[in-house]
């Protein structure tokens, strides 16, 4: 793509490298247009973006569900940056040029009943960064509605600000559970970045004991390093979901009372959801944080959940989570999220980042694309 900078801005002579996924499972770097600033927007220099599993899906599967890649799309949504310009009608007058901000990557319509009742994450006309047809954050310049930037507290890094997106998913899951009761057992299924962020939140919430599960032994080791008191269980794929659940329940204890009153499922994989369904305590809560690539799942343990009056809840992203998550990061309680960052790649070499995530020969947890250019 040739530079097609629109209108006049003081940044017109600065290149805007970007990373795109295109039709035919292609991944390429290019030069993105710099758009004129709308009155309610701020212009940001994106300082860093973490690569997400969903970015890999867009690239390798050509889309996610109904969102299909039909033209080149700039990917990226776990991001933070610095304010370069402020639109003439930005209502938040505390925002200043030079402010460091975390990016909440969803811009809902603001007027449907879901937006009006506070559930703006469920808005059906949301523009989500890096999901078709909305371009994402792996570029230098990004214009965003000013309501969806959140100032980074002092001492919080750009990388931590970007990780607020990942933590927000787990935060919303725990919020959906109504919080985790102090000293009561909980389970976290899946030790990818969202599962591990959820595990850290469960630990600082005071849940105990906590059992974390995964099929991958290295991920469980990582979980133990993050939360030394956690118990782990490696899912055995040759057992049934009920048999795996029985083995997990043994770790919690012998009586139904000792079973996890809250189970947070963070994979979206059918077998894991079903294992969680067999593990949760009667009258407990099963919160499904994970996202599936298929519309339906089989073998859901309907009758055990029904007989136990288990409260099954679902999570779709997040709302109103950046301020508390940034508070928690500033407090130091989530310092260990920095251990998620295993690789950093320069914006100009951004195509390497998803390749690192995809390549099993380079084990990674979170790969970041960073822009080192100083503009302010």
> How many angstroms separate the Cα of 288 from the Cα of each of 174, 184, 208, 268, 292?
10, 19, 20, 7, 10
User: Any idea what DSSP says for residue 283?
Assistant: T
Kindly state the smallest distance separating residue 175's Cβ from Zn ion, in Å.
Answer: 18
Nearer to Zn ion, 1 or 116 (CB): 116
Site string for Zn ion, 310-349 (x = CB under 5 A): ----------------------------------------
Decide if residue 67 touches Zn ion (CB under 5 A).
no
**Stretch of 109-117, 200-208, 266-274, 288-296 lying at the interface with Zn ion (CB under 5 A):** 109-117
Decide if residue 369 touches Zn ion (CB under 5 A).
no
**Stretch of 122-130, 265-273, 275-283, 333-341 lying at the interface with Zn ion (CB under 5 A):** 122-130
Kindly state the smallest distance separating residue 128's Cβ from Zn ion, in Å.
Answer: 10
**Interface of this chain with Zn ion, residues 89 to 108, rule: CB under 5 A:** 108
The phi, psi pair for 153, rounded to 5°, reads -65, 160
Kindly state the smallest distance separating residue 354's Cβ from Zn ion, in Å.
Answer: 13
Residue 284 has which token pair? 């407990």
Nearer to Zn ion, 103 or 199 (CB): 103
Nearer to Zn ion, 108 or 354 (CB): 108
Cα end-to-end span (Å), the chain: 27
Nearest to 265 by CA among 366, 192, 166: 192
Helix (H/G/I), strand (E/B), else coil: 23: coil
User: Any idea what DSSP says for residue 184?
Assistant: -
Residue 3 has which token pair? 């530079």
User: Which residue of 37, 83, 84, 115 would you call a contact of Zn ion, by CB under 5 A?
Assistant: 115
Nearer to Zn ion, 115 or 142 (CB): 115
Judge contact between 44 and 374, C-beta under 8 A: no
Kindly state the smallest distance separating residue 278's Cβ from Zn ion, in Å.
Answer: 28
Kindly state the smallest distance separating residue 98's Cβ from Zn ion, in Å.
Answer: 27
**Stretch of 19-27, 79-87, 120-128, 210-218 lying at the interface with Zn ion (CB under 5 A):** 120-128
**Stretch of 117-125, 235-243, 356-364, 365-373 lying at the interface with Zn ion (CB under 5 A):** 117-125
Decide if residue 27 touches Zn ion (CB under 5 A).
no
Nearer to Zn ion, 109 or 239 (CB): 109
Nearer to Zn ion, 123 or 144 (CB): 123
**Interface of this chain with Zn ion, residues 258 to 297, rule: CB under 5 A:** none
Kindly state the smallest distance separating residue 125's Cβ from Zn ion, in Å.
Answer: 6
Nearer to Zn ion, 122 or 270 (CB): 122
Using CB under 5 A, count the residues that bind Zn ion: 6
Query: Is omega for the bond preceding 133 within 30 degrees of 0, making it cis?
Result: yes
Tell me the HSE value of 370 on the side-chain side, using a 13 A CA sphere.
Answer: 14
Angle between helices 241-252 and 270-279 (to 10 degrees): 40
Decide if residue 123 touches Zn ion (CB under 5 A).
yes
Residue 254 has which token pair? 């012998």
- Measure the CA–CA gap between 78 and 46, rounded to whole angstroms: 10
The residues, ordered by sequence, that sit 6+ positions from 49 with a Cβ below 8 Å of its Cβ are 76, 77, 78, 79, 136, 137, 138, 162, 368, 369
Cβ neighbourhood burial of 273 (10 Å; 0-12, 13-18, 19+): buried
User: Which residue of 64, 67, 95, 112 would you call a contact of Zn ion, by CB under 5 A?
Assistant: 112
- DSSP annotation string for 251-268: HH-SSGGGS-SEEEE-S-
Decide if residue 52 touches Zn ion (CB under 5 A).
yes
- Measure the CA–CA gap between 274 and 267, rounded to whole angstroms: 11
User: Any idea what DSSP says for residue 38?
Assistant: P
Kindly state the smallest distance separating residue 345's Cβ from Zn ion, in Å.
Answer: 17
Nearer to Zn ion, 130 or 185 (CB): 130
- Measure the CA–CA gap between 101 and 121, rounded to whole angstroms: 20
Nearer to Zn ion, 123 or 142 (CB): 123
Kindly state the smallest distance separating residue 264's Cβ from Zn ion, in Å.
Answer: 17
Decide if residue 138 touches Zn ion (CB under 5 A).
no
Residue 63 has which token pair? 């889309």
Residues in touch with Zn ion (CB under 5 A): 52, 108-109, 112, 115, 123
């Amino acid at each position: 793509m040739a530079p097609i900078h629109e209108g006049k801005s003081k940044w017109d002579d600065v290149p805007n490298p970007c990373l795109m996924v295109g039709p035919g499972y292609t991944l390429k770097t290019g030069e993105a247009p710099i758009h004129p600033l709308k009155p309610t927007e701020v212009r940001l220099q994106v300082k860093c973006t973490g690569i997400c599993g969903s970015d890999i899906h867009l690239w390798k599967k050509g889309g996610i569900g109904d969102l299909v890649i039909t033209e080149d799309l700039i990917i990226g949504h776990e991001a933070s940056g610095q304010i370069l310009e402020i639109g003439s009608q930005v209502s938040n007058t505390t925002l200043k040029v030079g402010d460091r901000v975390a990016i909440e990557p969803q811009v809902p319509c603001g007027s449907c009943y879901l937006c009006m009742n506070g559930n703006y994450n469920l808005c059906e006309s949301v523009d989500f960064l890096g999901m078709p047809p909305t371009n994402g954050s792996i570029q230098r310049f990004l214009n965003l509605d000013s309501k969806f930037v959140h100032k980074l507290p002092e001492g919080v890094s750009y990388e931590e600000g970007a990780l607020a997106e990942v933590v927000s998913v787990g935060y919303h899951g725990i919020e959906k559970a109504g919080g985790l009761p102090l000293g009561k057992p909980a389970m976290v299924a899946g030790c990818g970045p969202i599962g591990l962020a959820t595990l850290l939140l469960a630990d600082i919430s005071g849940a105990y004991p906590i059992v974390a599960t995964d099929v991958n032994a290295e991920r469980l080791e990582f979980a133990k390093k993050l939360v030394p008191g956690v118990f782990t269980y490696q899912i055995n794929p040759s057992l049934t979901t009920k048999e795996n659940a029985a083995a997990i329940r043994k770790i919690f204890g012998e009586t139904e009372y000792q079973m996890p009153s809250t189970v947070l499922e963070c994979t979206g994989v059918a077998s894991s959801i079903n294992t969680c369904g067999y593990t949760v305590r009667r009258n407990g809560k099963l919160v499904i944080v994970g996202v599936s690539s298929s519309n339906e799942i089989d073998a859901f343990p309907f009758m055990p959940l029904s007989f136990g009056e288990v409260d099954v809840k679902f999570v779709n992203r997040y709302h109103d989570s950046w301020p508390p998550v940034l508070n928690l990061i500033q407090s130091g309680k989530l310092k260990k999220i920095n251990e998620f960052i295993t690789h950093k790649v320069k914006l100009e070499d951004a195509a390497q980042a998803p390749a690192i995530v995809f390549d099993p020969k380079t084990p990674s947890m979170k790969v970041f694309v960073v822009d080192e250019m100083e503009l302010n």
